[in-house]
Amino acid sequence: MSTSVGTLRAETRDDSEFVATPTPRLSWTTTSSSPDWTQEHAEVRLDGEEVVELSGRDSVLVPWPFSELAERSTHTVEVRVAGSDGAMSEWSSPVTVRAGFRDTPWAAPLVGLDTPSRQAQPLLLRRVFAVSKPVRQATLYATAHGVYQAEINGRVVDDETLKPGWSAYGDRLIHETTDVTALVAEGDNAIGFSVAGGWFTESFGFRDGARPFYGADPAVAASLVIDYADGSSESVDTDGSWLATGESPVVASGIYAGESYDARLEKPGWSTASYDASGWAPVRIDGVPSATVTARVAPAVRPIQEVAVESVVASASGEQILDFGQNLVGRLRIRVSGPKGTVVTLKHAEVLEHGELGLRPLRAAKATDTYSLKGEGVEEWEPEFTFHGFRYAQVTGLESPLDPSDVTAVVLHSDMRRTGWFESSHTLLNQLHQNVVWGMKGNFLSLPTDCPQRDERLGWTGDIEVFSPTASFLFDTDAFLSSWLVDLDLEQKATGTGSVPFVIPNVLHDAATPAAAWGDAATVVPTVLHERFGDVDVVARQYDSMKAWSDCLLAISGDTRLWEGGFQFGDWLDPVAPPEHPADAATSPDIVASAYLYRSVSFTAEAARLLGRSDDAERYGAIADEVRAAFLAAYVDSSSVMSSDAQTAYATAIVFGLTADDAQRDAMGSRLAALVSSNDYRIGTGFVGTPIITDALTVTGHLGTAEKLLLETKNPSWLYPVTMGATTIWERWDSMLEDGTINPGEMTSFNHYALGAVADWLHRTVAGLAPAEPGYRVVRVAPRPLDALEHAKADFDSPYGRVSVGWHRDGDRVVVEATIPANATAEVSLPGSSETLTVGSGSHSWTVDALAVTA
């Protein structure tokens, strides 16, 4: 028997050695050939010397067991484990932990162009500095009102893009921490920044109401800290000694508009010490940021992959259209040649309509890049400070069409670690799941957005509220969503009422109105992060936010304990809603709102119990009971028929626990199944009902109905877009109509992840892999085979290691297989059986009668 430590991680960020706290939590996985292995104790070693023994099974987000780390110190951490088999493992491979955080308030001021000729003018900044003795390490801390890339001595400092991303700029700026030791040398050095407005100078709002929200001009604040070999240190901070120019080759740049680049304005060597900057001017000093500047904890945005042109389409007007075969988010990289001053124009679209780029869904977003050639042979270019959502692109302006091999789509998103996979014997279902994955990648760019292509791309709370369970299976989203929740808390506080704005960061002047299923992200997302990652700290940090939201709703409901009246999105994009009125759903918005009142108050009570706040737990628990009683009295009659006799009404009541007893729950399930059947198994739900309807059917004994609903291909259905060639999840069930025309609604997108939240049910129920305890310390193995499938399987890199659960048919039998990682256990509910088995780590297999599965 052998046991070894598989992976060791410090805190939750995978894409950098730097940690943002002096006490980073540690997590490790164990592999063992010993069945049913559990950890008895672990030893953690710092810098190969100091050893601390930790008793017990804890191996996920374990509190830092050593003294606090000093800023800019570098350490190694190792772990070894002893288990129930009595053997001690070898030490793990050492993991480097770098304390990059700032331990003092941010002091470097924001600097920019002193006299910009137009709003949001891109710029270049530089400063020369001398290094007179050997350097031990050099660390660059930088943030911005806008987006930037830094260079030292002519070399870019990292592969991140759109730094520092988007946060609640008025209250919080993120700073990047970058090791630039290899770029700094003794003698004269230069540091430079290329800067554009990004989200900071963008105009937000709808139609004619779009206005700049944060500021007019971009700026950067930076501190280059040089630690010398003799133990001394000095900083090169942004200040009045820096120089700036507005004559950047990036002539114009916007998130929505796109980017214009003039290669004739390039300044070779502009970030080197020898460059002649005599035409540059002293910078504008905006002062030290008023917002708190914090170290990045979420993964950075990076170029993640590249996609080649799949085919070339001749447009109806005779232009060349490039099809990448996948709706994606990023930008184009082109190789071109031609006369000096030739302007190459790049247009982007998600779909084609009438043989041309389908541009109407972009609304006011131009999504157009231009490149002006310098006329010196083959030139290669990729925009730097913008991004687009597209499958199709049109490149014009050259004397002859580009060779498709000279155009590449560069995919951008936050650099999260992929953790979850699903596959089955059903081709369309597999494509649906792939569409969910691509939709998430495209919309997890700095923050969880609603869409990546039109003049919006905002952090809508409703979308992530319903999608967070799916997201937390597909990728490690703990750090990403934890960071976003900090901004939610800040924007919530800014309302002064406990209300959570529709979008986070909040850039809409009328978004602070409480709205069910949107503001409830304040309680739902922390609950999901605890359930999926075992992260208690995020619940503790967000607890006041959870309470504030619940109290806000309780103030609205008053003694009735019902949330009725006022503005609501309701069951947004229910198929019965007309294109121009997506909130006109079959289910009453009062039912949706009151159901979410119950859910948020219940989650707040659970959080209080988790954190040992017994008084709050008792209070909110009692109120939740009152809300349930009021809900049943108001909306459910003695025959268990709801006042809104609609699918979402029953689904929310069943899944949220708004039933008096099992008999009422089952009666509601029967009525729900009848409604689905009478609708020919086509979708009859919107944002609220869609993520949970298959669960409601399953738990009330109607798995067959859920299967027919899942696998229906007629419009509206999950698979209808797949039959229409979709490669991401659409915003509307019929974003494209059967005749190939775009939905006539003013609002439509072909890359929205919300309606793909059904993937969580595929993972948990069809494949059968779910958490039975937070962080998958106990895995629930409970596959429910669908008649139309021959097999299904889910794989998940849990905090304890790889979990695999699946099933396949073998004649008249169904074989269920599961692999459970070391230090975890599983509760097994086999199809057709009411018995629950408990098993330990290792590989397991069970065979059941196929007839019993469907009985």
How far is Cα 127 from Cα 132, in angstroms, rounded to an integer?
16
**How many Å separate Cα 121 from the centre of its chain?**
30
Q: In angstroms, rounded to a whole number, what is the distance separating the alpha carbons of residues 511 and 392?
A: 33
What are φ and ψ of residue 191, in 5° steps? -120, 140
Told to judge if 456 belongs to the known catalytic residues of this protein, a careful annotator would answer: yes
- Under 8 Å between Cβ of 754 and 465: no
Tell me the HSE value of 757 on the side-chain side, using a 13 A CA sphere. 22
306 by Cβ neighbours in 10 Å (0-12 / 13-18 / 19+) ranks as exposed
Bridging pattern class, strands 155-156 and 447-448: unpaired
Task: Using CB atoms within 10 Å of the CB of residue 326, give its burial: 0 to 12 exposed, 13 to 18 middle, 19+ buried.
Answer: middle
Residues 6+ apart with CB under 8 A from 839: 36, 818, 820, 825, 826, 828
Cα–Cα separations (whole angstroms), residue 809 to 200, 785, 788, 851? 55, 9, 11, 11
- Residues sharing a CB contact under 8 Å with residue 712, sequence separation 6 or more, in sequence order: 680, 681, 682, 683, 718, 719, 720
For residues 173 and 200, give the distance between their C-alpha atoms in angstroms, rounded to a whole number. Answer: 11
What residues have CB less than 8 Å from 474, skipping those under 6 apart? 418, 419, 420, 436, 437, 440, 759
Residue of 151, 176, 456, 491 marked active site:
456
CA atoms of 91 and 78, how far apart (whole Å): 6
Pairing of strands 343-349, 368-372: antiparallel
DSSP letter for each residue of 438-482: HHHHHHEESEE-S-SSSS----BHHHHHHHHHHHHHHB--HHHHH
Give the pair of three-digit tokens for residue 497: 């009422």
Single out the catalytic residue among 151, 176, 465, 731.
Answer: 731
Q: Indicate if 399 belongs to the active site.
A: no
Three-class DSSP category at 541 = helix
Residue type, 833: S
* Percentage helix, strand, coil for the chain under 3-state DSSP, each rounded to 5: 25, 30, 45
CB 176 within 8 A of CB 141: yes
Residues with active-site annotation: 456, 731
